[in-house]
Amino acid sequence: MKKDMLMELKQRLPNIYMLYYTEKDGSWVEKQFQENPYNFFMEIPEFQLANLYSGMEKGKIDLKNCKVIYKNLSFLSPSQASDERFWAALTHKTFYN
């Protein structure tokens, strides 16, 4: 996610937080900015996270997803893995559902 748009999204949060609960996909983010807020700088392999409604306990779902994420994104450098913009893009686009 572009840095300026991430900052603006955070500033708007008190007014738009309800969209996270009411929208079925992350297309509302682009509508908020009226442009593409993403700046993808690398290819991310496709992978699936555990379904939050699978009946597993929350802690077990989190552990499973941590392992899936680590397995599929272990090629990231420490700098890339700690970049808030990277995780914001995954959260709002790739893994919104």
Find where tokens 């990277």 sit: 86
H-assigned helices in the chain = 3-16, 19-22, 27-33, 58-73, 78-81, 84-89
Give pLDDT tens digits for 15-62: 999 999 999 999 999 998 889 999 877 888 899 998 888 888 878 999
* pTM attached to this predicted model: 0.83
Residue 12 confidence (pLDDT) above 90? yes
Give pLDDT tens digits for 76-88: 999 999 999 999 9
Angle (CA) 52-30-27 rounded to 5° is 35
What is the total count of domains within the chain? Answer: 1
Q: Residue 9 belongs to what domain range?
A: 3-94
Q: For residues 4 and 97, give the distance between their C-alpha atoms in angstroms, rounded to a whole number.
A: 24
Give the model's confidence band at 92: pLDDT under 50 very low, under 70 low, under 90 confident, else very high.
very high
